[in-house]
């Protein structure tokens, strides 16, 4: 078991300033691509400096619009319902000062508008337009990262078909602080993301912690112009274990509210997650049985799945005997 005291480990920091997400291969693309793959292999995550997400746009969402959203009455927030776990409103959890809402397809103008119309039937064009512009920038970064992973493994021919089977969910969250006189407390329980990738952006209130493969927790502290990119179980399985999917949590201290957004890249429920044949050989035997994404997510919320760690290995991992 690792210590709960954060270690001195620091996330790799990758600068996307010289990368044109609309022109893969140009500029600093190849250099950044190698850095991305190295970071995801060793840590399963990294800090991305991404100037295309301007400080003005970032501040509009995290310092203004999200706060307005969480000030809405509870009965209004409850309209953000989904029958899929974590897609809609979450809150009112005993001993956990945490609320979140989900905006499906926020990178698309229609998706942003659909959510806005539910929260503000009278209209709120500033919210929908700003959230759309913000999510579109994050989606561009996500697509660049995933394309870099595919290129690094020389399986870029699968990129278009895989991305066509994905959707985006923007989750916005509010974490209540324990207070200056109280000890730090969990704001979000330790977990691995089930999806492909997640891009986390926060106001300047830290709390995100990542666990190393050795079980040590360390803080992920982004700068004001950076975000945190984390690989999920779907990418770990699709790459046959070459990419690591780290456990992470939120630990709150002090007396200042934390606000964050996470753009999740999510496979469609019926997508079968299976490493391509090019990534399986004598040196890299298959680590996971093919599985459909929706079944895995449902498993993770069963009593058996809640007890499993890592969940992906318990659900579809291959033993050495099975590999043989």
Q: What is the pLDDT along the chain (324 residues), one digit of tens a residue?
A: 344 545 567 899 999 999 988 888 888 999 999 999 999 999 999 999 999 999 999 999 999 999 999 999 999 999 999 988 889 999 988 877 889 999 999 999 999 999 999 999 999 999 999 999 999 999 999 999 999 999 999 999 999 999 999 999 999 999 988 776 677 877 788 999 999 999 999 998 888 999 988 889 999 989 888 999 999 999 999 999 999 999 999 998 888 899 999 999 999 999 999 999 999 999 999 999 999 999 999 999 999 999 998 999 999 998 543 444
- Sequence-distant (6+) residues with CB within 8 A of 107 are 132, 135, 136, 138, 139, 168, 170, 263
Q: What whole-number distance in Å separates Cα of residue 102 and Cα of residue 275?
A: 29
pTM: 0.93
Domains of the chain: 13-275 (2.60.120.330)
Phi and psi angles of residue 189, each rounded to the nearest 5 degrees, phi first = -65, 155
Phi and psi angles of residue 204, each rounded to the nearest 5 degrees, phi first = -80, 50
Query: How far is CA 89 from its chain centroid?
Result: 17
What pLDDT, on a 0 to 100 scale, did the predictor assign at position 225? 87
Helices and strands, counts by H and E, the chain: 12, 13
Tokens of 267: 């496979």
């Amino acid at each position: 078991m690792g210590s709960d005291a954060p270690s001195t480990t620091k996330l790799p920091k990758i600068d996307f300033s010289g990368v044109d997400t609309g022109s893969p291969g140009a500029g600093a693309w190849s250099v950044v691509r190698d850095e991305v793959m190295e970071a995801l292999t060793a840590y399963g995550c990294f800090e991305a400096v991404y100037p295309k997400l301007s400080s003005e746009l970032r501040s509009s969402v995290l310092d203004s619009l999200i706060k307005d959203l969480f000030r809405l009455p509870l009965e209004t927030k409850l309209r953000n319902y989904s029958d899929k776990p974590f897609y809609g409103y979450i809150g009112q959890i005993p001993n956990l000062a945490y609320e979140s809402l989900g905006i499906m397809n926020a990178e698309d103008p229609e998706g942003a508008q659909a959510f806005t119309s539910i929260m503000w039937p009278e209209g709120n064009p500033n919210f929908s337009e700003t959230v759309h512009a913000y999510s579109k920038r994050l989606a561009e970064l996500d697509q660049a990262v995933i394309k870099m992973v595919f290129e690094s493994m020389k399986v870029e021919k699968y990129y278009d078909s895989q991305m066509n089977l994905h959707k985006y969910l923007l989750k916005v969250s509010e974490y209540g602080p324990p207070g200056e006189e109280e000890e730090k407390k969990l704001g979000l329980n330790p977990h691995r993301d089930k999806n492909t990738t997640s891009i986390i952006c926060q106001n300047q209130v830290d709390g995100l912690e990542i666990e190393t493969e050795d079980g040590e927790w360390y803080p992920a502290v982004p700068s004001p112009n950076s975000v945190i990119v984390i690989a999920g179980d779907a990418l770990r399985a699709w790459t046959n274990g070459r990419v690591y999917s780290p456990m992470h949590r939120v630990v709150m201290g002090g007396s200042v509210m934390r606000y964050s957004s996470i753009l999740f890249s999510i496979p469609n429920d019926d997508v079968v997650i299976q490493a391509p044949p090019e990534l399986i050989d004598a040196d890299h035997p298959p680590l996971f049985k093919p599985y459909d994404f929706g079944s895995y997510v449902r498993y993770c919320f069963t009593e058996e799945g809640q007890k499993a760690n890592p969940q992906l290995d318990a659900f579809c991992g291959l033993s050495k005997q099975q590999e043989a």
